[in-house]
Amino acid sequence: MKQQSKPTAIGYIPPHYVEKSQSERSNFFRFLFTLLTSYYGDKAKEVLKRLLEEYRLGATRDGSVIFWQIDRTGKVRTGKVMQYNPEDGHRIKGGQTSAVNWIHSILKKQRVLAEDWQLSQCLFGEHLLKTHPDKVVVLVESEKSAVIGSAIFPDYVWLATGGKSQMREEKLRVLSGRTVLLFPDADAYAEWKQRAESMYFCKVVVSDIIERNATPKQKEAHIDIADWIIFQIREGKVMSTANHLVEAERILQRMIEKNPVLQKLIDDLDLVLVGASPIGNDDEKPP
């Protein structure tokens, strides 16, 4: 009789690597400092300190940022290493700089981790779900968007999938029972809207602010909610109100009654309800 193979154990990274790497000395953080100073003035330092501590942002010697993936139990899954332009906040791709590197890959090459160590990714910022059990969750694609979103709208838990292809149920199950707002990138609205309709284990609202308001040029550039917030900051329109509700107003109102802060985000960032199913009981791909 053929024996069934045992499920592969999830690999974890020792937490001291997170502690050792935590730093403001990344080009991404330099960009954040400039952006948030223009918005908050002297208060920016306080906001930056919170972002550094909450998301455990790391830095490498060459100024790349490390976005650590820490699950809701506080265990470290991996870290995504990326380089940003400190002037405009755009990622540096190509040339001598690799678009993305991974901490687990580096540690494997250094033989710190065993060859059979297995990666199982989680949401960026997932550990904050336990810290803020009653807050509305905002899910975006990129880690940059999560950090910038949290900087400007701190009343919500901002998480990132880490890529358009990472909207997988096994990764999203940690959102069971939560109210979740999705902010897809310009090229992912239809896909995320369809995915939201099958997220029966939580209440889901999808924003179409980029889909309806971005220019053809912006859509061609595949802008995301971070780009939109940066644009609003520079135009002085961060708190602009759209108040456009498309469907299921009665269901949405029940959501608002349970989560009063939801109305503020609806007003600020123009949300459209696409699904609100009963609460359940319960792209860069790394090597």
Q: What are 218-257's pLDDT values in tens digits?
A: 888 889 999 988 988 887 766 542 232 223 334 445 555 6
Which has the higher per-residue pLDDT, 154 or 209? 154
Half-sphere exposure of 83 (CA within 13 A, CB side): 13
Per-residue pLDDT at 208 exceeds 60: yes
Mean pLDDT in residue range 276-280: 34
Read off the amino acid at residue 151: A
State the pLDDT at residue 238: 62
- pLDDT tens, position by position, 31-76: 999 999 999 999 999 999 999 999 999 999 999 999 999 999 999 9
> 46 versus 259: which is more confidently predicted?
46
pLDDT of residue 249: 38
- Report residue 25's pLDDT band, with 50, 70 and 90 as the boundaries: very high
Q: What is the mean pLDDT of residues 267-283?
A: 48
Confidence category of residue 260, pLDDT binned at 50, 70, 90: low
State residue 285's pLDDT score.
56
Predicted TM-score (pTM) of this structure: 0.84
Q: CB of 287 within 8 A of CB of 105? A: yes
Q: Could you name the CATH architecture of 122-226?
A: 3-Layer(aba) Sandwich (3.40)
Residue 274 clears pLDDT 80, i.e. is over it: no
Contacts 24+ apart (CB under 8 A), 97-103: 99/284, 100/284, 100/286, 101/64, 102/78, 102/286, 102/287, 103/13, 103/17, 103/66, 103/68, 103/78, 103/79
Min mean pLDDT across 64-78, 88-102, 154-168, 242-256 is at: 242-256
CA torsion 146-73-53-57 (nearest 10°) is -60
pLDDT category at 23 given cuts 50, 70, 90 is very high
Helix/strand/coil percentages in the chain, nearest 5: 40, 15, 45
Domain boundaries in the chain?
A: 8-121, 122-226, 238-270
Task: Report pLDDT for 215.
Answer: 86
pLDDT, one tens digit per residue, over 106-129 is 999 999 999 899 999 999 999 999
pLDDT band at 287 (very low <50, low <70, confident <90, very high): low
- Per-residue pLDDT, 107: 96
Average per-residue pLDDT for the chain: 83
pLDDT of residue 198: 86
Which has more confidence, 147 or 92? 147
> What is the pLDDT averaged over residues 205-215?
84
